[in-house]
Amino acid sequence: MKLLRYGEAGAEKPGILDASGAIRDLSGVVGDIDSSVLADMEQLAGVEIETLPLVEGSPRLGPCVSGTGKFMCIGLNFADHAAESGMAVPSEPVLFMKATSAICGPNDPIIIPRGSVKTDWEVELGVVIGKRAKYVEESQAMAHVAGYCVVNDVSERAFQAERQGQWTKGKSSDNFGPIGPWLVTPDEVKEPQALAMWLDVNGERMQDGSTKTMVYPVAHLVSYLSQFMTLHPGDIISTGTPPGVGLGLKPQRYLKAGDTVNLGIEGLGTQHQVCVADE
């Protein structure tokens, strides 16, 4: 299944894609794509998608998951990205948190915050938790995954690395967490460690990678994180980015108002963002 949320920000309705790629309204079946649905996907198992109301036009797509409690990100999880960043491959996963207030729809604008001089892009595979996970063995980890989505881990590098404290300040500005366009259930993602991923800025290919080069795969990350905190339905793990970010270019290159960003992951859909300056 490809689950989604559509409508104006703050008033999204649940939806699902049919075989032709059209949006069908799920609001007669569930109230939202949230923790209660992710924890019990069986309630969607018998839905006859083609009988659901067809959503006309091209509505705004919201974040594909509602009510996320934790937005966890893994740093330097691609060896080639670590190299371009001038940093060593970590001996265990590097975890940082992104504020949930950064979450937005896949095609909402990237808002460049006041004082920003180094707003950057990062295409990443998002893993959405469906089943509570605490002290989970790696062999059992995938049973706790509700699905996958595209994430753009937008980052302000000066806030991240040149200001005091942790990375969170450079990762959490409004609209720095586009997710979607949809949540793809595991039955449609046969091998999450073999997905092509890409990102363009103003039509120029900047990132062209694959999840197969991740240092720590999805199962390891779910198990690892569950040793430190309980993972709950709706939590998101953003699993790291391949090389090609603005920080790693020579000379470095960053986003400015008017730039466009397009990105996608094989089988998980695409995102499109226009950069605007915060007021």
**SS3 of residue 271 by DSSP:** strand
In a domain, 186, yes or no: yes
Q: Where residue 85 falls among pLDDT bands split at 50, 70, 90?
A: confident
- Mean per-residue pLDDT, 113-135: 97
pTM of the model: 0.96
Whole-Å CA distances, 43 to 27, 29, 54, 127, 140: 13, 8, 20, 21, 23
Q: What is the pLDDT of residue 102?
A: 98
In a domain, 4, yes or no: no
Q: What is the pLDDT of residue 230?
A: 98
Domains identified in the chain, total number:
1
For 22-69, write each residue's pLDDT tens digit: 999 999 999 999 999 999 999 998 899 999 999 999 999 999 999 999
Specify the range with the lowest mean pLDDT, choosing from 9-13, 47-51, 76-80.
76-80
Q: Report the CATH number that the domain containing residue 104 is assigned in CATH.
A: 3.90.850.10
Q: What is the pLDDT of residue 167?
A: 87
Of the candidates 57, 37, 204, the one whose C-alpha atom is nearest the C-alpha of residue 131 is 37
Mean pLDDT of the chain: 96
For residue 173, give both structure tokens. Answer: 């500005």
In a domain, 72, yes or no: yes
In a domain, 268, yes or no: yes
In a domain, 107, yes or no: yes
In a domain, 223, yes or no: yes
Question: Which residue type sits at 9?
Answer: A
Residue with tokens 């009510």: 67
Q: What is the span of the domain harbouring residue 162?
A: 62-277
Q: What is the pLDDT of residue 25?
A: 98
Q: Where residue 214 falls among pLDDT bands split at 50, 70, 90?
A: very high
